[in-house]
Chain A
């Protein structure tokens, strides 16, 4: 698969794209169905998502909670603004670290690309203060250590 590309656009946006082997319908579903989301939206090794709520409809709420099994946790809340099966999802989200970060407006599109899908996610770049807080939280959560492990360990789910 093509690797992820991530670039900043102006000083307000981050644009991420990646290609998947599956059809847009499947990739779209994996972004809104809790049973599927819980399997992959986990960040670094060692984290799970004990709570995953996604009321997949415009105006529906989202709540994702992550935990690392060592007493560390944080969560995200959000609202779905637009759902266009299987092309586009627009939602707004914020992390609670535990103080809420400013709203991150996210537009995710799924475009048929041969037999696969090109997914593009355009999100608001958090302000400097929020980035600093997220980075700090990341460090506290030992993400760096997890990443180092990740490079050595071949997926061994707990």
Chain B
């Protein structure tokens, strides 16, 4: 699953995560991206190249500019991990409902001090 690995390592960098957060607001040029990050354009371009390689952003050509935007389904790989966790936990807790229902009821009548 090369894309997934690339996506995870691309996202490991805080600057790249910030760039993605900015792109979530809409399409942007490299120049506009460089400004808030106090980085040179070549430095931003290097990050963009990593993000593009990981399939997280898409770029198009418009004259001399190459505006970039979030790729459709860009964050799907992280979502996939969270979805897997959610499913495993949901299955667990549904079973736990059954386990709890089968526990012998020992409620109000039994008042014990079990502070240890």
Residues of chain A touching chain B, judged by Cβ–Cβ distance below 8 Å, are 1, 3-4, 6, 8, 11, 14, 16, 18, 20-23, 26-27, 29-30, 36, 39-45, 85, 127-129, 131-132, 134-136, 138-139, 143, 147, 150
Contact = CB atoms under 8 A, between A and B. Distances in A.
B116 A85 contact: yes
B95 interface: yes
Interface of B: 1, 4-5, 8-9, 11-12, 17, 77-78, 80-82, 84-93, 95-101, 103, 107, 114-116
9 interchain residue pairs of minimum CB distance:
A22-B100, A128-B8, A40-B95, A128-B12, A40-B96, A132-B8, A43-B88, A131-B81, A39-B99
Contacts of B81: 131, 134-135
B99 A36 contact: yes
Given A26-B100, A27-B96, A135-B77, 6 more contacts: A1-B97, A4-B90, A6-B89, A40-B96, A43-B88, A129-B12
B interface majority secondary structure: helix
B85 A40 contact: no
Contacts of B96: 20, 27, 30, 40
A142 to B, nearest CB: 12
B99 A139 contact: no
Contacts of A147: 87
A88 B100 CA distance: 18
A112 to B, nearest CB: 12
A8 B92 CA distance: 20
Given A132-B5, A135-B4, A136-B1, A6 B92 contact: no
B84 A138 contact: yes
Contacts of B98: 40
Q: Which among A3, A39, A135, A150 has the highest number of chain B CB atoms within 10 Å? A: A135
B85 A14 contact: yes
Given A26-B103, A127-B12, A147-B87, A135 B114 contact: no
B93 A4 contact: yes
A40 B114 CA distance: 25
B82 A132 contact: no
Given A4-B93, A135-B4, A40 B82 contact: no
